[in-house]
Each structure stands twice: as C-alpha cells, then as structure tokens.
Structure 1
Amino acid sequence: MIIHTKSAAGLDGVAAAVTALSHVDGEHGELIVAGTRIGDLAERTDFEGLVARLWSAASAKPVNETDVRRWLGEARVAAFARMKTVLPVTDGVPTIEAFRIGVAGISPADGMPLEAAIVGAMPVIAACLVRQAQGEAPVEPDPSMGHAADLLRMMRGEVASDDEAKALDAYLVTVADHGMNASTFAARVVASTQADLAMSVLAGYCALTGPLHGGAPEPVLDMLDTIATPDRIGEWIDAALARGERLMGFGHRIYKVRDPRADVLKQAVERLGGRGTDLGFAAEVEAYARRALEIAKPDRRLDTNVEFYTAILLDALGIPRRAFTPVFAVGRSAGWTAHAIEQQRTGRLLRPTAIYTGAMPE
C-alpha cells in the first residue's frame, strides 16, 4: 500500500536550502542581499563589489573586491577570444537561444576561479550576439572598465555616458540574486550533484528563459506599444482582464506587496531622463493597471514587479528587446555561481520525493 502525504504545490513554503546569500520577505516587500537591503545596495555598491560579497558569503572565505575586478576584466578578454568559434554556429539563431549556446561553451580561464570565468563571459556573449544580429562586427572588451560600462561599450561600439553605465550597474546589482527563485533552484540542483559551476549556470539560464520567470520584460514593452496612447489605457487593460489575460509586469509569486526592486529601477530610469519609453505614459499605465487588478482580483495583491521597470530601463539604454533575457543573466550569474558554491560547500544531493497517483499492478 502507498501512503500519500500532503503535497506543497510548486514547493511553496518548502525550505530547500540554508543560505547566507539573500532573503526575500514577500509579506513586507523586502529583499536583503548579502546582509543589505536592495535599495541601499544599489546605491552604495557596484556589480563587482556585490559579486565579491556574494562569493565571500558563499565560500565562507573573504574574496577581495580588487581581485574580482581584475578577474572579470581578464575573463571578458578570454571569453572574447573564444567567440570566434561561437559566432559561426549561432549566426541566424534567435538571440535567446544563441546565448544558451554561448553559455554552454564557457570554459575555465587561467589564473582565476571558474566562477569568475563564467560571470566575466556573460556580457561578452550577450554583446557579441547583439552585434552579430545587427550585422556588425564584435567589439573587443576593455578589461580596465567596469562590467556594466564595458557591456554597453561592446554592445554599442562606443563608450556610454556615466549616467548610462551607472543605470545598468544598478540593474545588474538589483537582479543579481533573489532567494530560491526557479533558476537559482535549478542551478543548486545541478550543483548538488557535484557537477561543475558552468553546468549549474547553464541550468539556471535555461530556467530563466521561461515566460513565468525571466522572460517577461520584453512583453511589457509589447503591451505599452499596443496600448500606444493614454486614451486607450483603460479600454485595453479592462479588455485584457476580461479575457483572463495576465498583465505583464504585475504580480509576483512571493511578493504580496510592491516588489522592492521595481522602485530601485524606477529611480534609475528617472535619473536617465526622457530616453526610450515615455515615463509619464508608463506611469499612467502602471497606476491604472494596479487599480484595475485590485478590483478584478480583490483576494490577491498584484502590484508592480521588477519586470515592468526592467523593460523600461533596458529600453532607455538602447538594449534590443531580444537581448533582455541574456542581459538579465549577466546580472543573475553572480547569484547562480554563489548559490552553486554554497550548495556544494554546505548541502547534499537534492532529491525530493513525489506522490505517485498512477495505477499499481495487480
């Protein structure tokens, strides 16, 4: 006889790891990464500094920020040298899929930890694929530049302004880690088998491509484009909700209140000025959508999430929509590598059970 036990659908409320990396408080709308609230972190720390903090917490050993800066610069140079074998096989392949091929080809680099080779390769892969899709030659990285600034330079072929580099840096910091999300869990499952970090990160990226996880920022812009003018906001949103459609950029599995990352990115967009999406129009869409969702779904709090302002920020920086998910991965790779390191150091093979509901032999 099989005895069934209660199942937690979607593993809600099930603790699958003990971590020192990040804490998500969905009831109070708070995200703490490496001991600091995300808003304070985005203001005070750049991406390289956050990477050092995450790797230090994951390994329980101090990781020097200066070393991280040097490693990531050198890793970008090493990754660029390998792109000559990646670009021919990704020509004509959609960017989101081509990026997966590029990530699968990441290999260790001399003189640095594998996690540095992985995180350093991400912006190079993203930028080279964007240039290839535009019919332009790849741009060699500059190891002396910051991660965010060099990503924009490699993607555009020219140096970005300080404001633009700071805005992208704030984005990378904001999305670097977020508790036991789907892609981080996937990375930890693979790491728990003692597979190497590159395999864990590849699993994380594959999970990120799903529309219920990291694949939603692009449809936010599609929604804004479709609404087009302020006079159509109410009509379009009401009709979408009447059809039972999800409003992209609203609602979150964990947060019962506003996603704290949305405000961080909104501030970053505002500092850029009036580039890209009309901020006034976007604010009107956001306000109406929040009111409409409150009326349509009074039993659920569906507030603005990180994807709404991610889309607007990346658009303001001139990053093509097809590259939104790869650029998300540039930031999240810091968290994936840290979680994989922590899992292999403190965890065991992740092997949950399942409740069998099929037929039994006579």
Structure 2
Amino acid sequence: MADDLKKGLEGVLVAESELSSIDGDEGRLIYRGYTIDDLARGASYEEVVYLLWHGHLPNEDELAAFTESINEERRVHDDVLATMERLADADEQPMAALRTAVSMFSAYEPEVDAEPDDLGASLRKGRRIAAKVPTALAAFERYRLGEEPVDPHPDLGLAANFLYMLTGDEPDDVAAETFDQALILHADHGLNASTFTSMVIGSTMADIYSAVTGGVCALSGPLHGGANQDVMEVLMEIDESDLDPRDWVEQATEEGRRIPGFGHRVYNVKDPRAKILQERSEELAETGDSKWYDITTTIEGYLTDEKGLVEKGIAPNVDFYSGSVYYQLGIPIDMYTPIFAMSRVGGWVGHVLEYQEDNRLIRPRAQYTGPEDQEFVPIEDR
C-alpha cells in the first residue's frame, strides 16, 4: 500500500480534459489545441473564455453576443457593495473579501431554482460570476481608499473595464492590452490546486457558486496564489537596498532565502507565460520606469546564466514577471492574487462543467497509519 501512496497526488491521473495541456519539458501551454502564444498575442480574454467554455473560438457574431451577455451582468447588487464597504472598513484581506462576494452573488441569482444537472444554467451562472468579480474587486479597493465605486463602462472589455473601475480613468491601449494578456495567461492551467478543488466540489453536484468559492479559497493559500506579490515585495526590497541585484540575491540565498518566481511544479524550463509577460514588462518600461524590468532581468540572468538554475529544472515562472507588470499598471500589491482569481474563473467554470458532463463523485482514500485494537475505557474510568 505504501508504494501506491502519491503525496499531493503527484503524477496521478484523475480526469480527462480538453481544456488545457502543459508540456513542462518543452515549456508549452495550450488551450484546446491553441498555443498560449497565439492566444495571448491574437485573442482577447473574452475570446479565450468563450473557447474554454464552448470548445471553439468565436466568430465575430458569437463574440459580440458573448461580450454583450457579460456586459449585461457586470453590476452587482447593492447588498454586495455594502458588504464590500464593511469589509474594507474592517481591513479585511482582498482574497477573503472576494470569497465573500462570490458566495453572496448566489443570493441574487435569477436561476437559483435550476437543477444541479442543468449544465446550461450552470454555464450562465458562471458567466454572471465572471462578469461580477471585477466589479466587486474594484469596489472593494475603492472603498479601501475612501472613495465611491465606479460603475462599469458599457464600451470597455473586461480587462480595460476593471482598470477603469479601479482608477476612474480609462486605461491607455498599452495598459489595456497588457492586462488583457495577463488575464489570458492565467485563465487556465490544468488541474492545479484551485481547479481541482473546484472540480471536487462540482463532483458533488454542488452549484457553481460553491465550486468557484472553493477555488478562491484554495488560491488564497501562499503555496498556490500570491507568488507574484512575493516577487514584487522582493523587487522593492532590492530597490530600497544599496546592493546590486546580483549581490542581493547572492546574499539572500546564502541566508537560506528562496527567490520567489523561480521554479514550478510542472515546468522544468522557463514558463511560456513568463516569456510573454517579460515582453510586456519591457514595453511598459519604455514608456515609464524601467527599474523593475531591469531588476527582474538582472536577477534572471544571474540565476540562469551564472548559477545555472535552469539546468537544474528551476526557471522563471509566470509570477516572476506578472508582479512587476501589475505594479507598473498601478495595481495594489495585495490585489495580485484576487486578479489571478478573476482570470481563473474561466478555467474553474470550464473544468467543473466539463467534469459534470460525465460526473463521478471524487472520493480518494487515505492510508491509515493510526493504532489498531485500542481498548475502549468508559469515561468514568479514564
């Protein structure tokens, strides 16, 4: 039995999926057969979500109808906004606020009486979640700043609209395109911890709100989400020091510190998503402050060329560049993981509904290692 134990389900196949595939040795990620490079450079986030949910890229009419259906669902109930304000006043963590918001959305669901196996209704509910999460997150941040929420802009896509609701100003083309790419890159990534959590919940035929809430909860853990926040905090620490980034990293590693943004459970080479975000970081540096791009590329060069980490299977992952990209877009550091969740709703919903099409309750077993044949003693004799 011990030989069959797979801690963390390492290498265990639990489902078949057509949504995404990862080749960790080649550094390749595909969504339904399309490379992440092609999608990030040629599609919008809405197109990618449509692809994940419907199995094909939309034509112009399908995309227009899909985008309109999302735009119509962006507003959240006043009760949700009031709760976001109370949580902001209580200094709640953004991921906890998001967890509460997604759970609250179901209270105002127009198809609340739909049967659990009505996958069409579940898909429409998933669309409402995807539409409302940016609104709730932006409102929470506005309340933290002592400002009123900004209503969704009817003419902006999901990515640009979030930046607009966050700041009150329409983003320029570079910012909007960069953030849209970032959402595409994070939309799905196989059976990671949060996606698997959503699938486990979905396998009980719980509603999609429960499944997405569970995904948010799993993503909130520092071993899953949050690495890009850690990266940005390290970059800021380096910037505030008097050390060259190489010297800082050398000193940090000698002290036993781990450099965030390097290494991945699946990739043995540079994460293909990191390559794309590195390009965007460079573009943002050309029109703004280049120091964050300079520091990250210096660290990468030092750890890969001089320390040879890639040869050891430890290479930059998506978080290594997403942190500085978000920072250059003016996004607060502790909002990075909620943004991850905002994007990953597309993958969570897609995987849950795909699994439910041929559902089987997920019920693994544990190897018992406790005592045997204990003698029961009545409480008065203990």
Q: TM-score, structure 2 length as denominator?
A: 0.87
Aligned to 2:43: 45
Alpha carbons of 1:253 and 1:292: their partners in 2 closer, same or farther (altered >3 Å)? farther
C-alpha deviation, 1:276, in angstroms: 5.0
Is the contact between residue 216 and residue 248 of structure 1 (CA under 8 Å) also seen in structure 2?
Answer: yes
Quote how far apart the aligned CAs of 1:143 are: 3.0
Within a 5 Å distance, the mapping from 1:153-232 to structure 2 comes to 153-228=164-239, 231-232=243-244
Q: Which residue matches 1:54?
A: 52
Q: Shift of residue 146 of structure 1?
A: 0.4
Picking from 270, 293, 299, the partner of 1:285 is 299
- The residue identity in structure 1 corresponding to 2:47 is G
Which protein shows a greater Rg?
2
* CA distance, structure 2, for counterparts of residue 204 and residue 210 of structure 1: 11
Q: Contact (CA 8 Å) 2:197, 2:215: kept in 1 or not?
A: yes
Q: Deviations over 1:163-220 (max 9, x none)?
A: 1111100000110000111110111000000001111011111111111111111111
**One-letter amino acid of the counterpart of residue 42, structure 2:** R
| Structure 2 residue runs without a partner (length 5+) | 112-120, 375-382
Match of 2:353 in 1: 341
8 Å CA contact 1:27, 1:255 repeated in 2: yes
1:91-124 CA distance string (max 9 Å, x none): 2322232222112212265598101111011111
**Compared with structure 1, are the counterparts of its residues 307 and 345 closer, same or farther at alpha carbon in structure 2 (3 Å cutoff)?**
same
Question: Are the counterparts in 1 of residues 81 and 136 from structure 2 also a CA contact under 8 Å?
Answer: no
1:283-322 per-residue CA deviation (whole Å, 9 max, x = no partner) reads 1122113346536x96x31100000111011011100001
Contact 2:296/2:320, CA 8 A, preserved across alignment: no
Contact 1:230 1:284 survives alignment (8 Å): no
Code of the residue aligned with 1:139 in structure 2: it is: V
**1:121 paired to 2:127:** no
Q: Which amino acid aligns with 2:83?
A: V
Provide the rounded CA distance (Å) in 1 between the counterparts of 2:195 and 2:315. 23
2:373 and 2:302 map into 1 onto residues whose CA distance is 56
Aligned counterparts of 1:28 and 1:250: Cα–Cα separation in 2: 17
Which residue in the other structure is 2:252 paired with? 240
Whether 1:102 and 2:106 are equivalent positions in the alignment is no
The offset of 1:275, in angstroms, is: 3.0
**Counterparts of 1:213-362 in structure 2 under 5 Å?**
213-228=224-239, 231-272=243-284, 273-276=286-289, 278=291, 279-291=293-305, 294=308, 300-361=312-373
Q: Secondary structure at the match of 1:337?
A: helix
- Unpaired runs of 5+ residues, structure 1, are none
For residue 274 of structure 1, report the CA deviation from its aligned partner.
4.1
Structure 1 189/344 Cα, relative in aligned 2: closer, same or farther at 3 Å? same
**What amino acid does structure 2 have at the position aligned with 1:305?**
N
Q: Which residue of 2 aligns with 1:84?
A: 81
CA distance, structure 2, for counterparts of residue 325 and residue 353 of structure 1: 31
Would you say how many aligned residue pairs link Structure 1 and Structure 2?
A: 353
Contact 2:28–2:35 under 8 Å retained in 1: yes
CA distance in 2, matches of 1:223, 1:233: 10
Q: What is the rounded CA distance, in whole Å, between the counterparts of 1:190 and 1:198 in structure 2?
A: 10
Determine the C-alpha separation between the residues in 1 that align with 2:151 and 2:80: 10
* Structure 2 partner of 1:23: 21
Amino acid at match of 1:144: D
Moved more, 18-27 or 87-96: 87-96
Give the CA deviation at 1:130. 1.0
CA distance in 2, matches of 1:143, 1:54: 24
Residue 67 (structure 1) shift: 2.9
Identity %: 35
Q: Distance in 1 between matches of 2:289 and 2:80?
A: 30
**Post-superposition CA distance 1:31-50 (Å, at most 9, x none):** 00122110111011101111
Kindly state the Cα deviation for residue 358 of structure 1 after the two structures are TM-superposed: 1.1
Pair 1:285–1:176, CA change in 2 (3 A) = same
Counterpart of 2:321 in 1: which secondary structure? helix
- Partner-residue secondary structure (3-state), 2:281: helix
Distance in 1 (CA, whole Å) between partners of 2:307 and 2:372 is 45
- The 2-side partners of 1:328 and 1:291 are apart by 30
Report the CA distance shift for 1:342/1:287 in structure 2 as closer, same or farther (over 3 A). Answer: same
Contact 1:230 1:281 in 2 (8 A): no
Partner of 2:11: 13
Amino acid at match of 1:339: H
Q: Give the SS at the match of 1:106.
A: helix
Measure the CA separation in 2 of the matches of 1:7 and 1:192: 23
Amino acid at match of 1:215: G
The CA deviation at 1:247 is 0.9
Q: How far, CA to CA, are the matches of 2:307 and 2:264 in structure 1?
A: 13
Find the aligned partners of 1:264 and 1:199 in 2 and give their Cα distance. 33
- State how far apart, in whole Å, the 2-side matches of 1:346 and 1:294 are: 45
Relative to structure 1, the CA distance from residue 110 to residue 44 in structure 2 (aligned partners, 3 Å threshold; closer, same or farther) is farther
Alignment deviations for residues 129-163 of structure 1 (CA, whole Å, 9 cap, x no partner): 11111111100112332000100000001111111
